[in-house]
Amino acid sequence: MLPELSDMKTFREALNGDSGPDEAALQGAADRNGQLTKPPGALGRLEDLAIWYAGWRGDARPLISAPQVIVFAGNHGVTAQGVSAFPPEVTVQMVMNFEHGGAAINQLAKAAGATMDVHALELDRPTADFTTGPAMTETELVQALRVGWTAVDPNADLLVVGEMGIGNTTPAAAIACALYGGDAADWTGRGTGVDDAGLANKTRVVAEGVTLHADSGDGLDILRCLGGREIAAMAGAIAAARILRIPVVLDGFICSAAAACLANVRSDALDHAVAGHQSAEGAHGAVLAQLGKKPLLDLGLRLGEGSGGALAINILKSAVACHSGMATFAEAGVSDG
């Protein structure tokens, strides 16, 4: 059961207080995997995924029947500096598209048999420009974390979180640069398609923000100073899912930046998560490497919305279906070599 999220102290205590996967379920799933009608290791990474999933669900023979996709939307004051090829109004328009079922993520969630929820976070009130001060106050950060915290369905058995927010590759790049170091150019990409001049401007903005806030504290402080409401909401949902023992499929660059803020506070905060894909945004692979996450897919996606994570749901479903549905050698009457 989730504690009520009232302030940052509560969130930090919750993030640091929960335990890991169910060891008995992990062992039971590993034992079962060794008895299935296949050569050892023949299903490759699917076997590891099924065992990992079983451990977090506390069931050596689990099923995936209730995946949930949540899309969070937010606007960013830093877009006034021309960091995106699209205007902030598109965020509102895309939220309406999500709600009417017309976006790519609607189709991908449906194909994966997932429910989909959309949460717009104060789109008429963008975060502050992080080159002049913190993007959010602590109160605003808690409010955004709480949106994600309470959006997770306790009855879900797999979670994908996605985002929509014009300009949000800029705060994601700033977060990554602040957490992992290096030059702003190492973490800043073209996002929705800025030209060379736009990329240079975007890199400047990221560098200014990191210079101002890099020493502000740990990952949650970095999230407050450089992030956005939708990024914080994703972090809140990912943290809540761990407490609820719901495995998570991470989406793209922005989702991974949100997750990185949690991992900076607690090294095993993402043990319940796998990377759904590696996006075409240049720095995404570098963030995944820092997180120790090997992506399930690499299809050149750069859409966001949770699209790559939703695509990966069926990989997880297939892994678990094979693990739980296959017969053992004894059950099938097949000789075990």
Q: Which amino acids are annotated catalytic? A: 305
Place of tokens 């009232």: 6
User: What is 175-228 written as a DSSP string?
Assistant: HHHHHH-S-HHHH---TTT--HHHHHHHHHHHHHHHHHHTTS-SHHHHHHHH--
Closest CA to 255 of 293, 218, 217: 293
DSSP secondary structure letter of residue 119: E
Nearest of 148, 332, 326, 171 to residue 242 by alpha carbon: 148
**Segment (H or E) for 105:** helix 104-111
CA 178 vs. chain centroid, Å, equals 19
CA distance 291 to 262: 10
* Nearest C-alpha neighbor of 166 from the set 98, 79, 106: 79
Would strands 115-120 and 67-73 be described as parallel, antiparallel, or unpaired? parallel
Spatial CA neighbour of 219 closest among 254, 174, 261: 261
Instruction: Assign 46 to helix, strand or coil.
Output: helix
Q: Is 116 in contact with 109 (CB distance < 8 Å)?
A: yes
Residues 88 and 126: beta-carbon distance below 8 Å = yes
* Token pair of 73 as six digits: 């939307």
Eight-class DSSP state of 44? T
Cα 217 to chain centroid, rounded: 22
How many whole angstroms from its chain centre is CA 125? 24
